[in-house]
Amino acid sequence: MITPRHIAIIMDGNGRWAKKKRLPRIEGHRRGSETAAKIIKDAADLGVEVLTLYTFSSENWKRPASEVDALMDLFEKSLKKNSTRIVSDNIVFKVIGRRDGLPEGLLSEIDKITKASENNTGIRLNLAVNYGGRQEIIDAVKHICSLNKEKAFDISGLDEIFFNKFLYTADIPDPDLIIRTSGEMRLSNFLLWQAAYSELYVTDTLWPDFGKKELEEAAQPDYMETKFKGMPLIKKQGRPR
């Protein structure tokens, strides 16, 4: 079986899951957080080296303030609850995205777990928080321009390899497979540079219902072994809603 080296997941459908269950939206996010914790272990068991989870996009700030505050509180509590397990399970933890606007308590928890897990050797877990693909590219361009201005770099030498060094994901391989739950057929500003040759898998399954079975189906051998050179594949499971 060919195991994707790097899987990235757009965890979509928490709100719709809660609505179907006639529960508050935040309950959908809580269940989604529990699903994420299980999928991390499932991915590690499959032999995945890197797992990137789209946790909170830069566009999510546009949601009602009450929902954003609840999400930040849930995220911080979830990290505190799982911090010991993350370290003991040999997970390397990192958050990618801009730190601006994130609560101090959350940033403190992120920094603690990042430091405590930096010498681990197991699966690399990236949580994309306050993340946007366009913003990531802009940040990289600004950094390179500052080097050029300081004459620390000649812009004529700029190429893809050099540019990649300034992305949030500079030290990891691009995703082999990007999974999106809930049936939406779009990337939503997620890993735009890195997804150039990624295979795309979309499922109607809402994120809180996504489990090991669904993960294995997305990464199944007959799918991962079928590739078009220079073109991502889109495999659609189910019909869009």
- What's the mean pLDDT when you consider all of the chain? 90
pLDDT tens digits, 71-128: 999 999 999 999 999 999 999 999 999 999 999 999 999 999 999 999 999 999 999 9
pLDDT for position 1: 57
Report yes or no on whether pTM surpasses 0.85. Answer: yes
How far apart are the C-alpha atoms of 220 and 230, rounded to whole Å? 21
- Alpha carbon distances (Å) from 35 to 137, 141, 155, 206: 30, 35, 44, 11
- Annotated catalytic residues are 12, 60
Q: How far apart are CA 91 and CA 117, in angstroms?
A: 7
63 vs 216: CA distance, rounded Å: 32
CA distance 18 to 8: 23
Name which of 225, 227, 219, 229 is nearest 237 in CA terms. Answer: 219
Q: From residue 231, give the alpha-carbon distance in Å to each of 1, 72, 228.
A: 22, 37, 5
Domains and CATH numbers, the chain: 6-133+174-237 (3.40.1180.10)
Q: What would the pLDDT profile of 121-179 be if each residue is shown by its tens digit?
A: 999 999 999 999 999 999 999 999 888 777 767 777 789 999 999 999 999 999 999 99
